[in-house]
Structure 1
């Protein structure tokens, strides 16, 4: 047993958190394929592969933005409402006219950025807890949508619907766009000063401030980018529905995004993790959904199983973090500690003065 634990810790230190998440993804795919095959079906058919990638794209957009926010030790519960509002803005602005596609995309992303800016300013300047601030923003958007729109709004031109409906082989265009944005987000975190500052603020905002970092700027930037990604998700939903849909916020996208981020190895208290692991977490959840739909599992049981898997995965990750930090620093060789110290040695006697010397 001790050898197994030692080997697992060595593997964890060698692969890192992101490597372990991708190893878990491979394991989930293998176990799911075997389980579905035992039920007389096949998981790796073209239809199921397309379904898996289609599910991953929408959640991926939201989870990428949520990763940036959580790295800064913040949170955004308004992304589902922002996505719903974005479908309406896109539908009303485009109004079925292909010549208004760029205007619709710009208006949608611009409004989403303003909402993210408002969230960031409320959190950093007014010192409102991110949970309360973003939840309040989401409720304001919900109230507006419920009072102003009673059904579908606007129309999406057929040329823009290709964003959500077309694919290249088994890869939907939306999934390819999501992967491109994920790569850009990884480069942003690893190659830019603001990306480094997001990790610093998430690790310890006071230490970051003493190091010359303005903690407010990375947090505001993360919330703006998170809302923009929610706007992209809204554009994807609008392209699939062909119109604006005000009831999108009922699907609990924000909670799924948080689950994917944490499942991908990002520390919920900020400072550790990244988008690469989040993408793996997204594909794990998408794989589970595809398996459940292939086997026709009851939706209630599906939610219970997904929640159990997420809790178990996060518990294992937290346990590995504790094991990694609980290391004997003074005695790394594992040997016995030195004998207890005895009474202190007496002070040394003064050196005799040289002959003929003076004190």
Structure 2
């Protein structure tokens, strides 16, 4: 509940600040823009939350976003008939990257931080060696995902809602979800109870890759093409972790919910909307985001210390 109260407070402050300066913060257009800003990071955050709940971490998500966007754009090549193939190829690329993360962590027993950072660097190297600018083209028919609205609600928000609903059901209504919490809480105790931690970790990393790929598809639909830097420039790796922590999920795993991190994503989107109104310097935006990330980690440390006492 506190994170949702914080969201309302941040929105109220944004409304007040913009209003005092002669702007209108609560317009339909602005609310639609805020909703659109939630989608890309929100999709990545859902996957990151699953990984963190299992006691792992994924620092490769930004590059999975880029790879998936590039694969979709190049595969579709402006041809509406190739849209299904482009979607399948992008999701497949994301799943494979997630599988690679999971295998390195579970089979090679490499720390998740190092493993996903390394996979991310491999993906980055492949992108930079293959592309140096925008490539491919997204057909107009697929760009409806990024721009169209139904009854005033952006189409992309329905995508995010569907992914969130599926993840929520998986975590709270299936045996697998209970296994995720068990492994995140105590992997050894879970193993002694008959759970296979390596299978859980492998699965959540594949799911994280799929969520990042969905984000890449959305960004490609917005851009009409794709470039190698769309993921890293969005800062989806650190910002998704910050959103997960701000949303009340323990970095150590085993404790937290899916909806809290989404409220944190909305907070970041509202802050972005305020910056856009004032046409703030990009450096200032980066500075504030850095403060939010540091604050999120500090908040996690405070919670962890409080729980131990």
Structure-2-length-normalised TM-score: 0.94
Query: Partners of 1:150 and 1:312 in 2: how far apart?
Result: 35
The counterpart of 2:240, out of the listed 236, 257, 261, is 257
Q: Which residue of 1 aligns with 2:282?
A: 299
Tell me if 1:234 matches 2:229.
no
Give SS of 1:265's match: coil
The change in CA–CA distance for 1:280 and 1:147 in structure 2 (over 3 A counts) is same
Query: Partners of 1:294 and 1:145 in 2: how far apart?
Result: 34
The counterpart of 2:200, out of the listed 218, 238, 241, is 218
Query: Partners of 2:168 and 2:294 in 1: how far apart?
Result: 26
Q: Deviations over 1:191-243 (max 9, x none)?
A: 11111111111111111111111111111110000000111111111111112
Query: Partners of 1:34 and 1:65 in 2: how far apart?
Result: 34
Using the TM superposition, give the Cα deviation of residue 39 of structure 1 relative to its aligned residue in structure 2, in angstroms. 2.3
User: 1:1-359 to 2 correspondence within 5 Å?
Assistant: 19-251=1-233, 252-312=235-295, 315-316=298-299, 318-319=301-302, 322-323=305-306, 326=309
How many pairs does the alignment contain? Answer: 308
Using the TM superposition, give the Cα deviation of residue 267 of structure 1 relative to its aligned residue in structure 2, in angstroms. 0.8
Using the TM superposition, give the Cα deviation of residue 299 of structure 1 relative to its aligned residue in structure 2, in angstroms. 2.1
- Structure 2 residues not aligned, in runs of 5+: none
The answer to whether the 8 A contact 1:75-1:131 is kept is: yes
- Structure 1 residues not aligned, in runs of 5+: 1-18, 327-359
The answer to whether the 8 A contact 1:75-1:134 is kept is: yes
Query: Partners of 1:146 and 1:316 in 2: how far apart?
Result: 36
| RMSD, matched Cα | 1.7
Structure-1-length-normalised TM-score: 0.81
Larger radius of gyration: 1
Give SS of 1:96's match: coil
The change in CA–CA distance for 1:309 and 1:38 in structure 2 (over 3 A counts) is farther
Using the TM superposition, give the Cα deviation of residue 303 of structure 1 relative to its aligned residue in structure 2, in angstroms. 2.5
Query: Partners of 2:304 and 2:100 in 1: how far apart?
Result: 35
Higher helix share: 2
Give SS of 1:89's match: helix
The change in CA–CA distance for 1:210 and 1:92 in structure 2 (over 3 A counts) is same
